[in-house]
Structure 1
Amino acid sequence: MSDNVAHALSGAGGGIVSMILTYPLITISSRLQVQRNSAHPSEDDYKNTGDAFVKILKTEGPQGLYSGINSALFGISVTNGIYYYFYEAVKAVFEKRGKRSMTTGESMLAGAIAGSAVVFVTNPIWTVNTRITTYKKKLDKQEADGKPLKHQRAPTTMETAMEILKTDGFKGFYAGLLPALILVINPIIQYTVFEQLKARWMKLKSSNLSAWEFFVLGAVSKLAATGITYPYIVLKARQQAASKKSSGTNKPSLIQELRDIFKAEGFAGLYNGLSSKLLQSVLTSAFLFMMKEELFRWAVWTLVVLGARKPARVVEPLDWTYNNTTVRKLHYFQYDSSYTHRMPQPAHLGLLGPVIRAEVGDNVTVHCWNKANVPISMHPHGLHYTFEDEGALYDGSSANGSSPADGHSIVWGYHSHVHEDKDVNAGLVGPIVVYKEGTLGAWSPRDPDREFFAAFMAINDAQSSILSNSTELHYTINGYTHDIPDMVMEYAERVRWYLMAWGGEMDVHTAVWSSGEVMWGYQASNEMTLMPASFRTVDMLANTPGRHTLFCKTPLHRKGGMEAAYVVREAVGSGRRKNSKAKVVPSE
């Protein structure tokens, strides 16, 4: 089953929660929208949002603020369910065909298709709801024997629907259809603004947006959409609230309704109830976006548990090839927060898991779903952790961390620690990059133009934590032997190398760059010694064009495959380095 269903379920759930929280404002705004302004208003007319709130409470009680909530909850669940299902379906088609994210134009088209589907399916529901929420209860005087005033009973959803069918016929359920179709532009504006703001915000962050950030983005996007389309909201509400019985004549068309408003109330009539509607719409949308993101994860898990959806695996088997021999390994994969979409990573990382990035002082939380057939864990180096979070089966602690003397960013690593040596040989390792506080995501003159990760590992298939068809020993960099893909840089670029070494006593390596020196702190050398479970961060200026080699100086290791080519491409034009101000894009 596709993610469309999960999006539909979470959208419906988020709509129900947001509707319950803001429904009194919906009642007030609906009544203000259908109220016709007059030079001589009656005592029953509402002056503003506050006055409407007080009068409804006085004449109808608290339940008056929730008139028609049953039909509203049904309507919003159907509306949001249909909208998100069709929007995500169209989005998937565009992204599959274009092999990229949707453009702004495609996003607007997807919104138009989804919105139109919603209007044709749900207009009858909202017509019934509008009739109920705009029904004003009148007081009926009793006999003059001192009895209290008695409220008239509000019509039920079924009674309202039958009344519409009796007085207006089936077409009465589609009152306000034309302005409703025009109002499809409201969610188009809303979601376009939301996606654009979200994309810009994500560029400034190194992690997923929080629930409250979704709340703010939802509020701002709905504020823009409602402010632009509000006159059509008023026209739609008045057409849905009107009936032949109440008017005594055929209901006016959209143009006639517009003329009547201008004639009797002026331009201001198109903005009746604007303040309450803006407040209601903004809060409803904000709660919807916040709750939908939370409920989407639950929807995915629910579908997985019910067997309606295949689970995505974060730790899973991987067929890996050395010198034309395919061996079964385990691998850490990165997914989005719903565990539905695998995140891409550079090919040169090979067997390494996704890069975890954080600043000094950050709290790093990793949600790991083990779908392998053996126990695994995640044990970090370079991060402080509690005993419960260590990822090992024995008591221990770590005092590792970044000091002020360290560079702009330094590399550490993580690995499975259930059976340390066997898990590492199985491929369960990955890098961690720790940045100085306040520098992750912000450009600095010390930032590199390009970065590469290189893990020197002697992998023993006979000592893997999973059964393998091989018992060979492989000398590798990132799991590759003799070559690594995509190790290309431009002339005069500043390149940062994140070096790691994993393994036991045979894993003492000396990394060598054939093109020249690298800088480690204030030391310049073309060699760097690596002990088991050690990490080094070095910088290189790519000033020697051509094909070069990164290799281990130990002859046995290099002969066994612990070497890789990297290419410095020729300079274009004068060859002088450009003054780049773009921070290196994180690999994950």
Structure 2
Amino acid sequence: MSDGEKWNLENAAAGAIAGFSTVAVLHPLDVVRTRFQVSDGRGGSCLPLYKNTAHAIYSIARMEGLRGLYAGFYPAVFGSTVSWGLYFFFYSRAKARYKKGFDQSLSPGYHLVAAAEAGALVCVLTNPIWLVKTRLQLQTPFNQNRPYIGSSDAVRTIFKEEGWRAFYKGIGSGLFLVSHAAIQFCAYEELRKITINLKSRREKTDVKDGDRLLNSFDYAMLGGASKLAAILLTYPSQVIRARIQQRPSSDGIPKYLDSWHVASETARFEGARGFYRGITSSLLKNIPSASITFVMYENILKLFKLSQSKLDTSD
């Protein structure tokens, strides 16, 4: 295995570990966010009406217990672990490919293209996982349909009742969410450069030693800030995807036909506010999540580098 391939696998492993850790800690907020996103306030839904994030958590815990707060946990853990692992793998490969022939660091444009490329590949590969997660998170004691008994039952039932194409519902808005990842990683890379330059000037050290200049607090701030920018700019597409991925009613008729139908109905009945339902719980969940992810990713990567350098020295 070449050094480049080994480095890509290390990026994938670091990303996967980071993704698993964040989901395990913050999953209840993800359940709340998903339920807010599909609640249009027009009735016809089996979901209770929640006043705010705190009320939603309290209501779910009281009516459904811990199981309700962790609905869809297994596909969320699996999906996040796979997604982050694949994302960092594809992203590092894309950056390495675009960097060939360049001595200096990549420009923001190249970071944007690399992030978008990685995001598109991950979206196509993982959309079925997110659909199953969304369906499980939307199950309540008031559902008219026979409830899914776990992830495997959900997969079998969806395939039997709706066919394989159902697993790719929301893929259009999901691909639009590629811009979310592109914005996040481009912002992270540029903020990272700025932070390194500022620290190198202050400490009068070489910019090339950037990894040594940054600490866990820096990674947390950079990860949180980049995620905030991405959420604010692309959140409506998350609402559209969640709504179109809802389970059809007991008669098999879906509430929305496609992404355009979701967008037009939301704009018609709820206005701009409808496209930002659940954003509070999304911010509460995703900003700490991004901070934890990048702290773990960067530190795990440092451990890999340290262990590799020790091996090279011993050889």
Q: TM-score, normalised by structure 1?
A: 0.48
Q: Residue 243 of structure 2 contacts residue 256 of structure 2 at CA under 8 Å; is this kept in 1?
A: no
1:111 paired with 2:115, answer yes
- Report the aligned-residue RMSD: 2.5
| CA displacement 1:355-411 (0-9 Å, x = unmatched) | xxxxxxxxxxxxxx8537xxxxxxxxxxxxxxxxxxxxxxxxxxxxxxxxxxxxxxx
* Residues 71-220 of structure 1 aligned to structure 2 (within 5 Å): 71-138=75-142, 155-206=149-200, 207-220=212-225
- Give the aligned residue type for 2:164: F
Q: Residue 67 of structure 1 contacts residue 133 of structure 1 at CA under 8 Å; is this kept in 2?
A: yes
Q: Which residue number in structure 1 is paired with residue 291 of structure 2?
A: 286
Q: 1:156 to 1:246 in 2, by over 3 A?
A: farther
Give the total of aligned pairs.
Answer: 299
Higher strand content, 1 or 2: 1
Higher relative contact order (CA 8 A, sep 6+): 2
Which of 237, 260, 269 lines up with 1:232 in the alignment?
237
Q: Residue 186 of structure 1 contacts residue 225 of structure 1 at CA under 8 Å; is this kept in 2?
A: yes
1:19 paired with 2:41, answer no
Q: 1:124 to 1:42 in 2, by over 3 A?
A: closer
Secondary structure at the aligned position of 1:87 is classed as: helix
- Which structure has the bigger radius of gyration? 1
- Which runs of 5 or more residues in structure 2 are unaligned? 201-211
Which of 252, 261, 266 lines up with 1:256 in the alignment?
261
* Residues 101-500 of structure 1 aligned to structure 2 (within 5 Å): 101-138=105-142, 155-206=149-200, 207-243=212-248, 245=250, 248-249=253-254, 251-299=256-304, 311-312=308-309, 370-371=313-314
Secondary structure at the aligned position of 1:98 is classed as: coil
- Give the aligned residue type for 2:196: M
Secondary structure at the aligned position of 1:89 is classed as: helix
Partners of 1:246 and 1:205 lie apart in 2 by 61
| CA displacement 1:545-573 (0-9 Å, x = unmatched) | xxxxxxxxxxxxxxxxxxxxxxxxxxxxx
* Residues 473-552 of structure 1 aligned to structure 2 (within 5 Å): none
- Give the aligned residue type for 1:224: A
1:56 paired with 2:60, answer yes
Secondary structure at the aligned position of 1:241 is classed as: coil
Q: Residue 167 of structure 1 contacts residue 243 of structure 1 at CA under 8 Å; is this kept in 2?
A: no
Partners of 1:118 and 1:237 lie apart in 2 by 17
Q: Percent identity?
A: 30
Secondary structure at the aligned position of 2:42 is classed as: coil
Secondary structure at the aligned position of 1:186 is classed as: helix
Q: 1:249 to 1:283 in 2, by over 3 A?
A: closer
Q: 1:160 to 1:42 in 2, by over 3 A?
A: closer
| CA displacement 1:209-265 (0-9 Å, x = unmatched) | 111210111001100100110110000111112336466258411111111112222
Secondary structure at the aligned position of 1:243 is classed as: coil
- Give the aligned residue type for 2:216: A
- Give the aligned residue type for 1:371: S
Higher helix content, 1 or 2: 2
Partners of 2:164 and 2:255 lie apart in 1 by 14
Partners of 2:131 and 2:79 lie apart in 1 by 10
- Which runs of 5 or more residues in structure 1 are unaligned? 141-151, 305-310, 314-338, 340-368, 373-588
Task: Please report how far the alpha carbon of residue 40 of structure 1 lies from its aligned counterpart in structure 2 after TM superposition.
Answer: 11
Partners of 2:194 and 2:262 lie apart in 1 by 41
| CA displacement 1:463-517 (0-9 Å, x = unmatched) | xxxxxxxxxxxxxxxxxxxxxxxxxxxxxxxxxxxxxxxxxxxxxxxxxxxxxxx
Partners of 2:240 and 2:147 lie apart in 1 by 28
Secondary structure at the aligned position of 1:97 is classed as: coil
Task: Please report how far the alpha carbon of residue 162 of structure 1 lies from its aligned counterpart in structure 2 after TM superposition.
Answer: 1.3
Q: 1:263 to 1:247 in 2, by over 3 A?
A: farther
Q: Residue 19 of structure 1 contacts residue 76 of structure 1 at CA under 8 Å; is this kept in 2?
A: yes
Q: Residue 71 of structure 1 contacts residue 128 of structure 1 at CA under 8 Å; is this kept in 2?
A: yes
